[in-house]
């Protein structure tokens, strides 16, 4: 579906966002969304021993809304915690506990965020971060005879997640970061390549399942 050739990252993002809006309105979307939800539920079930807290997001610009699946997951145990990101002025993210009826505050970018001054919702360093992708790519390193795959996220260009992941991974090496998107959003090297400051994803979840 993505048909771009040598566009700038800004133009590429604009084209991908327009295509995502069209995709969400298409007849194919419901099946793809259901398959992604199923894959997410399976991932959470298989990772039960490692994951007690998950950072998710409030969807904007036709991003897939995984809140229902995550709320179902959290409802199954009082030990499970959901949290949402709060964008700091220095373009890093902090995460705060979130409950389904919490009042959120729009950020300067129009993204609903938790109130960092709400003493009932402490700051959380999540075990797993789910990150929506505008686009994504895959690269491979060959070590001995084995190929190691890496997955990369094209976001909105602010660099919030890259800075945050680089910092969190120093203090929490076992942090799991999973990108969320669809198969058609995959980009080849001619369209986009990850830069040195881009942080790799630990896996990429699409309607085809979890890659990683």
What is the DSSP code (8-state) at residue 80? Answer: -
Give CA angle at 101 (98, 103), nearest 5°. 80
Burial of 183 (0-12, 13-18, 19+ CB in 10 A): middle
Tell me what pLDDT residue 7 has.
Answer: 64
Name the percent of the chain in helix, strand, coil, to the closest 5. 25, 25, 45
Under-70 pLDDT residues of the chain: 1-7, 142-146
pLDDT at 91: 93
The dotted CATH code for 9-211 is 3.40.50.10420
Give the Cβ contact number of residue 64 at 10 Å.
23
Residue 63 assigned as binding residue:
yes
d(CA 91, CA 176): 21
pLDDT score for 5: 46
pLDDT of residue 6: 52
- The per-residue pLDDT for range 47-99, each reduced to its tens digit, is 999 999 999 999 999 999 999 999 999 999 999 999 999 999 999 999 999 99
What does the pLDDT read at residue 4? Answer: 47
C-alpha closest to that of 132 among 47, 61, 184: 61
Domain ranges of the chain: 9-211
Angle between helices 67-75 and 29-46 (to 10 degrees): 30
């Amino acid at each position: 579906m993505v048909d771009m050739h040598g566009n700038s990252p800004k133009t590429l993002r604009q084209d991908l966002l327009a295509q995502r809006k069209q995709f969400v309105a298409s007849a194919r979307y419901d099946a793809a969304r259901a398959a992604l939800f199923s894959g997410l539920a399976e991932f959470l079930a298989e990772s039960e021993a490692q994951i007690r807290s998950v950072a998710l997001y409030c969807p904007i610009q036709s991003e897939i809304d995984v809140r229902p699946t995550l709320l179902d997951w959290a409802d199954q145990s009082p030990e499970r915690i959901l949290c949402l990101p709060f964008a700091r002025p220095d373009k890093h993210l902090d995460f705060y506990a979130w409950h389904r009826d919490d009042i959120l505050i729009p950020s300067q970018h129009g993204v609903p965020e938790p109130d960092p001054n709400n003493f009932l919702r402490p700051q959380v360093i999540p075990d797993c971060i789910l990150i929506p992708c505008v686009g994504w790519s895959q690269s491979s390193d060959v070590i001995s005879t084995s190929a190691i795959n890496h997955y990369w996220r094209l976001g909105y260009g602010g660099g919030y997640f890259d800075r945050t992941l680089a910092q969190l991974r120093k203090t929490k090496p076992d942090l799991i970061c999973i990108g969320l998107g669809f198969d058609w959003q995959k980009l080849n090297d001619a369209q986009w390549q990850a830069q040195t400051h881009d942080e790799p994803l630990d896996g990429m979840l699409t309607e085809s399942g979890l890659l990683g």
